[in-house]
Chains A and B, each alone.
Chain A
Amino acid sequence: QKEVEQDPGPLSVPEGAIVSLNCTYSNSAFQYFMWYRQYSRKGPELLMYTYSSGNKEDGRFTAQVDKSSKYISLFIRDSQPSDSATYLCAMSAVGGTSYGKLTFGQGTILTVHP
């Protein structure tokens, strides 16, 4: 079983829809959670990061972490065609020898059509 599981999709939604992307994980040492967005033929770019449990909002994006369930989510409100990309969840332990080594989900391919 992989440490981080993410539904690869693909996910196709109409413009303006609310999108929910999810990951589950098994390693309880993970405390630092990130969402990356990756456009075709580009590197992943950081979208959101949160430390430990809770919610974090940035414009149309909300990241949610539930450590008790080992479950993280990314919500996109009022989705736009420019949001079409692959979304990767990533997480790491903190301190010690973790040195920011990230464990990634497989990525979810999202298409927002006009």
Chain B
Amino acid sequence: NAGVTQTPKFQVLKTGQSMTLQCAQDMNHNSMYWYRQDPGMGLRLIYYSASEGTTDKGEVPNGYNVSRLNKREFSLRLESAAPSQTSVYFCASSAIGGETRTYNSPLHFGNGTRLTVT
């Protein structure tokens, strides 16, 4: 039972390069999220997807784009990486939403992608 799987685990980019972080969950969850974690800042929400085909901005969306490819997969793209995007990125999923209209359900996290932009 894999839960939430993120790839790659580590990545180093030069300023201006682009990349896509991949996330997949096998729990049949409706909602998926991308967070970034920085020292002293806790986790901050970048984007989320309440259901397949929908995405919305979180607290810190600038410089990122997302795609909810299907119910399982939610990717995060950096079009032109900047040093300020050096961080640890976490994907999460939750059973919130959907046909059962579940409102209370915790988030389950992957193990993160550690990104350095030089």
Q: Which residues of A contact B (CB under 8 A)?
A: 4, 6, 8, 32, 34, 36, 41-46, 49, 51, 88, 90, 94-95, 99-102, 104-107
Size bracket, chain B contacts: 20 to 34
Q: Contact partner of A43 among B94, B96, B112, CB < 8 A? A: B112
Residues of B within 8 Å of A41, CB to CB, are: 111-112
Residues of B within 8 Å of A51, CB to CB, are: 104
Q: Are B104 and A32 in contact (CB under 8 A)?
A: yes
- Number of A-B residue pairs, CB cutoff 8 Å, is 61
For residue B96, give the distance in angstroms from its CB to the closest CB of chain A: 4
Residues of B within 8 Å of A4, CB to CB, are: 42
The answer to whether the Cβ of B61 comes within 8 Å of any Cβ in the partner chain is no
The answer to whether the Cβ of B48 comes within 8 Å of any Cβ in the partner chain is yes
7 A–B contacts, CB within 8 A, in A order: A49-B106, A88-B42, A99-B56, A102-B45, A104-B44, A106-B41, A106-B42
For residue B4, give the distance in angstroms from its CB to the closest CB of chain A: 7
